[in-house]
Structure 1
């Protein structure tokens, strides 16, 4: 468990580092070409985008999930995908087992990024929404990729199943999502996204600490 958590955090940290380095190189290039106004505009654009994402991630009061969202935004940017955190995203600070929520959300986002990256579409995007219903945490991730054929949908949470080329490491993430949902007596569902793509929704009952629910 700890090694998997470390792997996720290291991956997101590396992506943030690369994104930061690319931004610095772009600013340095604009300054070198004496395009000072464009450099100023570029910095302002970055600041606005980062502020919006950070503000919405801050609405997730569980620090592990908030940090994951910021990190996955950098991963998405590295892959040329826009990751949007829903304006209604909101969650009390404490989760009983933050690692479980991190693994579910991280796997759903990775799966969505793979879907849009493997089948390029105009303006690829992934939409993330996280909210609480009482002590139940609901995590929803949608993408505008090719979607999943109806006949294949019953198998997406099966270990080893994948739309990608066969590989020993394939078909693990969504199976893990289902296992965690089962542990909470919750549910993991796949639906078609309006306009094309897929929507994954996971409900985890009793995932929030009692005092967090009482303090909402």
Structure 2
């Protein structure tokens, strides 16, 4: 218990929280920029977008990123600790280091597992379209099903579809065409709905 409340332990916990927050914040910004690119059918443009593209390319890349973060975390903890406190005090906080590294490891594995799920979705979609004689029909059915699910639609499948749409092959072209077509349909439907609502509002009350 004394180890937990020692200055070294408190510093280590605070430092780990700050570093973890920075990592998550950078990841969130990178994801938003990447999504902005792929949802407008552009190749990743900024450095953060390209970094996120590399991150979600494979489960191995996500694991490697997590490993690098853990190494940076441990090195920064001990560098900071040895520069501010006696060696014995820093070594005495070993259990705290194990604790914060374990929590960070769980977070890194969670991110990596999400990437694996997206990659698996890509593989299933790619196989389904490649092996079908009606490639456009299969892609359209997937997109329509996701639209019907509304907010409950699988975000990982949406992500995989837009990611596959970046590919310069038959699968990528088919998905991109279907997504563009669906986008135009939704825009037209929204325009009709807006026009009808405006007409009903402007007509005033019906007096018999």
Name the structure where helix makes up a greater proportion of residues: 2
Larger RCO, structures 1/2 (Cα 8 Å, 6+ apart): 2
Name the structure where strand makes up a greater proportion of residues: 1
TM-score normalised per structure 1: 0.27
Give the structure with higher Rg (CA).
Answer: 2
TM-score normalised per structure 2: 0.28
